[in-house]
Amino acid sequence: MANPGAKKKWISEQACVSMAHTCNLYCIYCHNPPAGQKKDIRRTAAELKASGVAAVSLEGGGEPTASPDFFPWIKALKGAGVVKIMLSTNAVALARADYCRRAVREIDYFTVNFPSHRAELYGRITRSVKFPLALKGLENLKALGAEDKIRFFHIISAANYRLLPEFALWAARNFPRAAFVNFTFVRNKGRALEAPRIVPSYAQAAPFIKLALAALKLKGVKAVVQNMPLCVLRNCEGFSFEFQRWRRGDRVLEGGVEPAAACRACVRCTLARACCGARPDYLKVHGDRELKASKKDPAAIKPEAF
């Protein structure tokens, strides 16, 4: 539910365009893996033009830059009146300086799926040997003056949650001008279903998440955490992405995200209107024992910088 009292500052109208059909990584947790089907450029552009959408995010169904027609897509979108483009990418293709330079000219924000700053762990999570390329892609963005266009997208999983504070310090040291770091709790969907142990419990991950958020705050880097219920973020609720959406008057959950699972605690909780709740896929693994009804007024929660 949106916050009816808030002034609208959020871009709700951003359309998600899943133009990818393949990927150059094979992440263990990929919850929306490529299906190999290509979208029609012209039809998509015509639909966007008709709807008058001015901002799109290229995400879902694979890695956009793994498609040979990536730049023709950008041209078609701009021809359809799109003025802002956010690219969700693993940054591997950005290791090529000429490709990265061209992307920087065309793209407003780069949301970079980067699951570990440690090469060995990155390799295990993405089942690839492309850590040096992804890192080079990030370094190229920085060298080209686009560091502030980087939004780190760091999926929290059983493989990396203990290293979240270390990752936070690494990000702050190497990319202090990044737009922000988004920690997103893994969803038990897509390929994650083949590896259910990839989903930690909230209780296991929460202390490390809080340390990581605090470290980034101390270093002056903006950070949010997504897909974590407010009751498991006690004293750090202001970092919740969904709370921030609610506060700014947007719907709490982004389009395409499953509604919260029906839980006894949530029915009695005053935070429910500003909270993402638990996804039903999480409850299948860990149940709802960790969720605790609150009497806090969400309007009394102090938002962190975002």
Supply the minimum distance, in Å, between the C-beta of residue 29 and ligand SF4: 7
User: Which of 56, 163, 199, 230 touches ligand SF4 (CB under 6 A)?
Assistant: 230
Q: Rule CB under 6 A: is residue 86 a binding residue for ligand SF4?
A: no
For residues 62 and 200, which CB has a smaller minimum distance to ligand SF4 in the complex? 62
Distance of alpha carbon 177 from alpha carbon 143, whole angstroms: 12
Supply the minimum distance, in Å, between the C-beta of residue 154 and ligand SF4: 12
Torsion sign over Cα 253, 255, 257, 260? positive
Instruction: Answer yes or no: are the C-beta atoms of 188 and 236 closer than 8 Å.
Output: no
Distance of alpha carbon 302 from alpha carbon 238, whole angstroms: 5
Q: Rule CB under 6 A: is residue 269 a binding residue for ligand SF4?
A: yes
- For residue 53, which of 110, 12, 107, 89 has the smallest C-alpha distance? 12
Q: Rule CB under 6 A: is residue 159 a binding residue for ligand SF4?
A: no
Q: Rule CB under 6 A: is residue 63 a binding residue for ligand SF4?
A: yes
For residues 103 and 215, which CB has a smaller minimum distance to ligand SF4 in the complex? 103
The span from the first CA to the last CA of the chain, in angstroms, equals: 20
What's the helix, strand, coil split of the chain in %, to 5? 45, 10, 45
3 state SS of 222: coil
Q: Which of residues 274-293 bind ligand SF4 (CB under 6 A)?
A: 275, 277-278, 291-293
For residues 187 and 215, which CB has a smaller minimum distance to ligand SF4 in the complex? 187
Q: Residue 283 corresponds to which tokens in the numbers above? A: 């409850």
Supply the minimum distance, in Å, between the C-beta of residue 280 and ligand SF4: 12
User: Which of 17, 19, 25, 141 touches ligand SF4 (CB under 6 A)?
Assistant: 25
3 state SS of 191: helix
Supply the minimum distance, in Å, between the C-beta of residue 33 and ligand SF4: 6
Distance of alpha carbon 133 from alpha carbon 93, whole angstroms: 8
Q: Which residues are at the interface with ligand SF4 (CB under 6 A)?
A: 23, 25-27, 30, 33, 62-63, 90, 113, 229-231, 263, 265-266, 269, 271-272, 275, 277-278, 291-294
